[in-house]
Amino acid sequence: MKKLNGKLKHNIAVFISGRGSNLKSIIKYSLKQNSYYTVKEVISNKQRAKGLIIAKKKNINNHFINFTKSKQLGNKVLSILKKNNIKLVCLAGFMKILPSYFIKSYNGKIINIHPSLLPKYKGLDTHKRVIANKEKYTGCTVHHVNVYLDSGRIILQKKVRITKKDTAKSIEKKVLKIEHKIYPKAINKVLTNL
């Protein structure tokens, strides 16, 4: 934990699998005066994830670890988190289901962002399903992670309107824009209550 502008900042870790667009917005927000966190670790289960390049450029510790494969690797991740005094783990486009032993080890301190208005449309292909069901609204949800898929307590939600012209691709862009706005705020909110 370090101080910035007289405020205590908690260390967080961001888990990614891809381009790191949410990671970018989380890092950007961490530099603001009203932020309660600093991004200390970035961990990816994909070796070529573009988000790892973002972390390197920002001089943030980063690792490729496909740790869901074995408990030994999971323990390695837990030791990295412990060593760096990580207060919160933020899943941002992390496309692996965390093993239950890992979730229990970091109980209450793992959050995720999901591209739907949970509890609706858990899992994958949310935008296609939203269109197929002729929904008028969709959005995104930041929630606590528990051992059940996309079922943890909701922290923040934001919705967007779906127009008749929308496709799965255009909805994805709309939702991603609001993800970038609400995820950093949700992280701040959780850290003020830890």
From 114, 127, 143, 180, active-site residue:
114
114 assigned to active site: yes
Is the pLDDT score of 5 beyond 60?
A: no
Is 181 within 8 Å of 159 (Cβ atoms)? no
Give the pLDDT confidence of 49-71 residue by residue, as tens digits. 999 999 999 999 999 998 877 88
What region does 98 belong to: left with phi over 0, alpha with psi -120 to 50, or beta? beta
Q: Confidence class of residue 8 from pLDDT cuts 50, 70 and 90?
A: confident
Q: What percent of the chain has pLDDT over 70?
A: 96
- Predicted pLDDT of residue 184: 97
The domain that holds 152 is classified in CATH as: 3.40.50.170
Q: What percent of the chain has pLDDT over 90?
A: 84
Domain count, the chain: 1
Provide the domain limits for residue 38: 2-193
Give the pLDDT confidence of 147-159 residue by residue, as tens digits. 999 999 999 999 9
